[in-house]
Structure 1
């Protein structure tokens, strides 16, 4: 890593070049995202203002709302105004309520963010120890029954969509047993079922990945050397096995976090969670396209930022290969 940071004379610092490339990709992706979000209203057949206000709305009200939203301006002018407004934090005005979209998102974002972050923490706390533990238990073909049970169970659970898993959790633990609330965001108990619905499948999927990577590392020569020195087993696993399995864990973990951010849309609607997922569904039904635009931008930007952070963490964990390839 020192050799990478200490650049040769006349050669750009590889870290600076790496970050510049990643930021360039991020900006390009954001530009595409903004363009697609802008085109959302214009690609939808019919008049979005009329659709939002209803067929019985007076023509004068429809025309006034179109004028207020700038929809009578040329398309290029609308796009420039839209981008300029984004730089000032203005995501538009709701067609239904007249409330600024940024205000609506600001009220809903904390609920969605807290749910996604809690689910990701659970995934990492469950997947990494479980994957390492299963690798140790099943190393060298031992405990075939345990290996088969783990791989079969994890494959089945990971294949269940979050929506169906959420419904099942509500029925069993909310309705039948009455252990946890099934709707709304209240105390810590209200997080249990939605977090489980979001994290259970990804945790088992990531645990399988960690197990595979850990099994490969356990057969490396440096692990055999560490064992020959009679180092404590826990120290061998934590200092030698886990760091070398970290690259794949970070990669898959980042992808899973991106998926969980999007997965909150369905899970929130099952649990009546007052976040952006519920808001975007209700806005789609009400044809409130500025709100949909704003939430799509936030979701997309969150996924892109997660990918950027994962790329940087991968570069820190494995600088030689990551920076050279990046």
Structure 2
């Protein structure tokens, strides 16, 4: 019996069990995502090809396009062909341009990825120092005015939708002051306004979370012991306070990054950013469903992968947590 238990994968090894659970959950989520993306074109009322080509398109062209897309095949055959093409990297052909969807995504993905990554870096650079600093300043009920100003201002800004914040930034810093370009992707200055629109609200929201967690850690006995040893304050905060407040920061940070990936859709359209967000909106308007399917798959897969990476980082940061035990 002992040999059988030892032979079972994951038994006695919490890391193996954790990875099996998370990878299994990822595969199930990907399967649901692929199924929903496939069903998208079939849930649209009417004929999607006719909708894309217009009511004046000749029937011969409509039939030829349906045949090229495989929409005349039985639904089960279409799904099998869709999976086969997907595993081979074929996301279909654009109805509007005739260009492969994978090529369109390959051209647009770097702009979206660079915007989301830059925004996430700015979020962490703002939120962590600001949250720790406010926790130190307002510990023990001190500086009530600063605490009230920080919490109310951060809540108000975080509640503003990203596209409204983007419009406000364009008007103030682009149109009125002329400090930054308001459209297109060029040099470093073109990143300033879209990155701020994406990161400002999440940064302040995360800073509030960091402050709450840091306040709880500052009251722990090991922090008092570190202070009793007369360690430098910066060392106490960086080596004792911040690592113990990291778990919640990673959790919220991962959720914010997932939200920022999706938020690029609206922000890109405000700033005419040549990424996938602007492409999916134009494809929806043009009823170019293969492109919409491909971009939905990329966005969904990106969010799922971010969640997986965050779970792994949480397990590394806190091996005793239920993330590895549950």
TM value normalised by structure 2:
0.97
- Write the distance in 2 (CA, Å) between the matches of 1:130 and 1:16: 37
Note closer, same or farther for the CA distance 1:10–1:159 as it changes in structure 2 (3 Å cut): closer
| Whole-Å separation in 1 of the counterparts to 2:12 and 2:303 | 29
Runs of at least 5 residues in structure 1 that lack an aligned partner in the other structure? none
Shift of 1:11: 3.4
Instruction: Indicate conservation of the 8 Å contact 1:132/1:210, yes or no.
Output: yes
Residue 38 of structure 2 contacts residue 293 of structure 2 at CA under 8 Å; is this kept in 1?
yes
Does structure 2 retain, via aligned residues, the 8 Å contact 1:7–1:13?
no
Find the residue that maps to 1:319 and give its secondary structure. Answer: coil
The DSSP-based 3-state class of the residue aligned with 2:138 is helix
| Deviation at residue 162 of structure 1 after TM alignment | 0.1
- Which ranges of structure 2 fall in alignment gaps of 5 or more residues? none
Distance 2:220 2:299 in 1: 41
For each residue in 1:217-252, what CA deviation from the matched residue of structure 2 results, as whole angstroms up to 9, or x when unmatched? Answer: 000000000000000000000000000000000000
Instruction: Measure the CA separation in 2 of the matches of 1:268 and 1:309.
Output: 25
Mapped to 2, the partners of 1:155 and 1:13 lie a distance apart of 43
Q: Distance in 2 between matches of 1:3 and 1:141?
A: 58
1:36 and 2:36 correspond: yes
Conserved in 2, the CA contact under 8 Å of 1:115 and 1:195?
yes
Matched residues in 1 for 2:202 and 2:302: separation? 18
User: Quick one: structure 1 residues 121 and 4, their matched pair in 2 at CA, closer, same or farther if it must change by over 3 Å?
Assistant: farther
Greater CA drift, 6-15 or 240-249: 6-15
SS of residue in 2 equivalent to 1:99: coil
SS at match of 1:6: helix
Residues 138-193 of structure 1: CA deviation (Å, up to 9, x unaligned): 00000000000000000000000000000000000000000000000000000000
Does the 8 Å CA contact 1:166/1:193 hold for their aligned counterparts? yes
In the alignment, the residues of structure 2 paired with residue 35 and residue 117 of structure 1 have an alpha-carbon distance, to the nearest angstrom, of 28
Moved over 2 A (4+): 1-12, 322-326
Greater shift, 6-15 or 22-31, is seen at: 6-15
- Note closer, same or farther for the CA distance 1:8–1:316 as it changes in structure 2 (3 Å cut): farther
Q: 1:10 to 1:218 in 2, by over 3 A?
A: closer
Distance in 2 (alpha carbons) for counterparts of 1:86 and 1:239: 46
Distance in structure 2 (CA, Å) of the matches to 1:235 and 1:265: 41
Q: Distance in 2 between matches of 1:168 and 1:98?
A: 37
Q: Is contact 1:15–1:323 with CA below 8 Å preserved after alignment?
A: no
The separation in 2 between residues aligned to 1:96 and 1:282, in whole angstroms, is 11
What is the DSSP-based 3-state SS (H/G/I as helix, E as strand, rest coil) of the residue aligned with 2:217? helix
Contact 1:5 1:13 in 2 (8 A): no
CA pair 181-5 structure 1, distance change in 2 beyond 3 A? farther
C-alpha displacement at 1:14, in angstroms?
Answer: 1.0
Deviations along 1:244-265, whole A, 9 cap, x unmatched?
0000000000000000000000
Report if the CA contact (8 A) 1:209-1:249 is conserved: yes
Please tell me whether the aligned partners of residues 95 and 288 of structure 1 are also in contact (alpha carbons under 8 angstroms). Answer: yes
Query: Structure 1, residues 250-300: CA drift from partner, whole Å, max 9, x if none?
Result: 000000000000000000000000000000000000000000000000000
TM-superposed deviation, 1:321: 1.3
Aligned residue in 1 for 2:218: 218
- Distance apart, 1:324 and its partner CA: 4.0
Whole-Å separation in 1 of the counterparts to 2:293 and 2:16? 34
Deviations 1:44-103 (A, max 9, x none): 001110111111111000000000000000000000000111101100111111110000
Contact in 1 for aligned 2:10/2:16 (Cα 8 Å) = no
Residues 5 and 14 of structure 1 are in contact (CA less than 8 Å); yes or no, is this contact kept in structure 2? no
- The structural deviation recorded for 1:5 is 17
What is the CA distance between 1:323 and its match in structure 2?
4.0
Question: 1:291 corresponds to which residue?
Answer: 291
TM-score by length of structure 1 reads 0.97
- C-alpha displacement of 1:194: 0.1
Work out the CA distance in 1 between the residues paired with 2:2 and 2:321: 14
Q: 1:29 to 1:10 in 2, by over 3 A?
A: closer
Q: Any conservation in 2 of the 1:14–1:323 contact (CA below 8 Å)?
A: no
What is aligned with 1:273?
A: 273
Alignment partners' CA distance in 2, 1:312 and 1:109: 25
Counterpart CA distance in 2 for 1:179 and 1:44 is 44
Shift of 1:320: 1.3
Counterpart Cα distance in 1 of 2:71 and 2:3:
56
